[in-house]
Amino acid sequence: MERRRQREKQLRLLGYASPPAVIAAATARRRAGDWRGACAAAAVDVHVDLRDVAARYGTDEAARVEGELRGLAPDLLRRFLPRTGSLALLPRATVVLSRLPGPVRTTARLLRRGVPLLVATLPLTDHSPQRIGLRVTDSLRLPTRWHDLPGWCWDAEAVATRRWAYGASAVRLAWHTPDGRPYPQGGTAAAGRADDRATEVETVAALLAARQPVAAYEAAGLTVDPDVGRQDPAWLAPALVAHAPALSVLADETRRLAHRYGTTTQFGDSHRLAVEIAGDGQLTVRQAAWDEPVAGPYAFGAPAPADVALLRWGDLTPDELHPLVHQALFPGRTQAWRAPEPAPCPPIRIRCGRDWHSVQLAAGRLVTAHTDEELRREFLLAGLGGPVGGCAAAVRAWRTGAKPMPKEIRRLRQDLFARAFHGDTEGLLALLADGIDPELRDNRGRTLAHWLPWVDHHRVLPALTAAGVDPDAPDRDGHTPLHAAALSLATEVMEALLAAGADPDAVDERGRTAAEVLAFARTLTRR
């Protein structure tokens, strides 16, 4: 991760997937033995009846599932769940979370009796509220394709395997000396033992950085089918690089899934890569045929953590690591956990008339050198058809997403609404406490009240009301916050909005009330 842009994207993922306040709350509840409270803090809805599990599978299996629930770290899990390119949770995915060491089914025959598996189910669409469902399903009733995450992704007790997965050997971290000092930025790794886990991770990363993906896969313990390179060389390298985030744990994961499900071939996603497992354990990466039946657990499904690389470059400190990651990487050290420091927001230079002005984001508002009265006059003239430019255009872009929009403002807006989308309730409340602009809207004209289904509405709605956000403000499709809650099937949010004075008779551009939109949305979930 020598490129800053890569590291910034990884830091965004960590912050969106498990915001600092979620980590703090979920960790406190988990340490207190309250696994249900930990799940609630991490926006995980529990649909598990342990009495039903005991009745169907026996008390021993129910006790195993209960142990998995007690060990579950839902805030850590969120970092490893499958996601789309926009970082939304992968729609309708099923993710198995199980400590079971033995096979749950084999290719020779399905077990006569299935076993209960703890699974996480992901939202219906890539724009749904980013809540996770937790259920128990029979191993014989898994869908055609599913994900299966190892314990180091979610189990608080998987300390040793978490240390291995994060790229640490018994004596040191990758890109660090045995005494804990990171390699100099721009420096290279010293020669290490070939069987040293930290050296292996460094070698794989160096080969990928040198644009040698085939050699990187070989260093990770996999052979790339030479026929693929000869038949379709233009396809091979991009496909290998696309799956590189999983590479340093891929061999171990492939064998684990083969043992659990009896698969001799595991398939990736649309890149059509497959991993063959020979009888002697040899792993070969090949191209899957277009007419080849694809089923079973996803290969490349567990992304290798990048936290140690972020430590090396100074983007994270040990005290900013997730507590369970710190425990695995720095045994014996007491962590003074704190949230990672956000990058400072520098002033933005705007051409305003003949001059250059600086505007600054402060407390959720764009502060300019102009008075509120001057800005209101500019907006009034713009409403009458006049031109708007300079600082007034920048303020309008910040509030509404209208163009022209400086790229710095676009990034700030993307980050703010991404935090709402990913459920960062505390971050949004902090902005509201600081006095965020109540006129702020996203690119579709939605106010912060439209985002209530994505956050803790019990706490955010009163703060929005106090900030002066209109509960009936329509977006560009005519949807009020009540319509938005209906589209998300968030009936509790609808009730709260109605109690706060939202108009139940307001209609969107199609003439539908929120109740009619709710009925329509329910039909979609049954398809």
pLDDT in tens, 366-380: 899 999 899 999 888
Residue 189 has pLDDT above 60, yes or no: no
Cβ-in-10-Å burial (0-12, 13-18, 19+) of 76 comes to buried
Domain boundaries, the chain: 1-166, 344-422, 446-527
Domain 446-527: CATH superfamily is Ankyrin repeat-containing domain (1.25.40.20)
Task: Write down the mean pLDDT value for the chain.
Answer: 91
Q: Please, what sign has the CA dihedral across residues 119, 122, 124, 130?
A: positive
Mean pLDDT is highest, among 190-194, 385-389, 516-520, for: 516-520
More confident residue, 60 or 104: 60
Q: What is the band of 124 on the pLDDT scale with cuts at 50, 70, 90?
A: very high
User: Worst-scoring range by mean pLDDT, 29-43, 137-151, 192-206, 312-326?
Assistant: 192-206
Report pLDDT for 74: 98
Residue 192 has pLDDT above 80, yes or no: no
Interatomic CA distance for residues 249 and 256, integer angstroms? 11
Mean pLDDT, residues 160-174 taken together:
96
Report pLDDT for 191: 54
Cβ-in-10-Å burial (0-12, 13-18, 19+) of 114 comes to middle
Q: What is the band of 179 on the pLDDT scale with cuts at 50, 70, 90?
A: confident
Interatomic CA distance for residues 216 and 211, integer angstroms? 9
Helices (H), 468-513: 481-487, 491-499
User: Worst-scoring range by mean pLDDT, 35-39, 105-109, 206-210, 474-478?
Assistant: 105-109
Interatomic CA distance for residues 248 and 254, integer angstroms? 11
The amino acid at 187: G
Q: CA dist 266 to 44, 72, 275, 389, 455, Å?
A: 29, 26, 5, 56, 37
Report pLDDT for 429: 92
Q: What is the band of 194 on the pLDDT scale with cuts at 50, 70, 90?
A: low
Tokens representing residue 215 in the block: 């050699």
Beta strands in 330-454 (DSSP E): 348-352, 355-362, 365-367
Q: What is the band of 210 on the pLDDT scale with cuts at 50, 70, 90?
A: very high
Interatomic CA distance for residues 195 and 207, integer angstroms? 17
Residue 76 has pLDDT above 90, yes or no: yes
Q: What is the percent of the chain with per-residue pLDDT over 70, rounded to a whole number?
A: 95
Interatomic CA distance for residues 98 and 119, integer angstroms? 8
Cα dihedral 155→157→162→168 (10° resolution): 170
Interatomic CA distance for residues 274 and 271, integer angstroms? 9
Q: Please, what sign has the CA dihedral across residues 489, 427, 153, 39?
A: negative
Residue 155 has pLDDT above 70, yes or no: yes
CB of 195 within 8 A of CB of 165?
no
Q: Rounded to 5 degrees, what angle do the CA atoms 100, 258, 294 make?
A: 120
Q: CA dist 279 to 222, 265, 282, 284, Å?
A: 14, 12, 7, 12
Task: Give pLDDT tens digits for 336-395.
Answer: 999 887 777 889 999 998 899 999 988 778 899 999 899 999 888 888 888 888 999 999
Residue 173 has pLDDT above 80, yes or no: yes
Residue 270 has pLDDT above 60, yes or no: yes
Report pLDDT for 344: 75
CB of 173 within 8 A of CB of 198?
yes
Mean pLDDT, residues 280-290 taken together:
89
Residue 187 has pLDDT above 90, yes or no: no
Q: What is the band of 190 on the pLDDT scale with cuts at 50, 70, 90?
A: low
Report pLDDT for 361: 86
CB of 496 within 8 A of CB of 484?
no
User: Worst-scoring range by mean pLDDT, 20-24, 133-137, 189-193, 332-336?
Assistant: 189-193
Residue 119 has pLDDT above 90, yes or no: yes
Interatomic CA distance for residues 311 and 326, integer angstroms? 11
Q: What is the band of 436 on the pLDDT scale with cuts at 50, 70, 90?
A: confident
CB of 481 within 8 A of CB of 452?
yes
Residue 439 has pLDDT above 90, yes or no: no
Q: Pick from 307, 452, 435: which is nearest to 367 by CA?
A: 435
Other beta carbons within 10 angstroms of residue 176's beta carbon come to: 20
Q: Pick from 307, 26, 38: which is nearest to 174 by CA?
A: 307
Helices (H), 330-406: 372-383, 390-400
Task: Give pLDDT tens digits for 465-501.
Answer: 998 899 999 999 999 999 999 999 999 999 999 999 9
Q: Pick from 9, 145, 228: which is nearest to 217 by CA?
A: 228
More confident residue, 8 or 95: 95
Mean pLDDT, residues 413-436 taken together:
91
User: Worst-scoring range by mean pLDDT, 38-47, 175-184, 196-205?
Assistant: 175-184
58 torsion bin: left (phi>0), alpha (psi -120 to 50), beta (else): left
Report pLDDT for 240: 92
Q: Is 70 strand, coil or helix?
A: helix
User: Worst-scoring range by mean pLDDT, 28-32, 193-197, 239-243?
Assistant: 193-197
Interatomic CA distance for residues 411 and 361, integer angstroms? 12
Report pLDDT for 94: 98
Tokens representing residue 94 in the block: 């099923």
Report pLDDT for 188: 58
Interatomic CA distance for residues 270 and 358, integer angstroms? 46
Other beta carbons within 10 angstroms of residue 276's beta carbon come to: 16
Q: What is the band of 289 on the pLDDT scale with cuts at 50, 70, 90?
A: confident
Mean pLDDT, residues 141-159 taken together:
96
By DSSP bridging, strand 94-97 and strand 145-148 are parallel
Tokens representing residue 99 in the block: 């400590």
Tokens representing residue 235 in the block: 């396809």
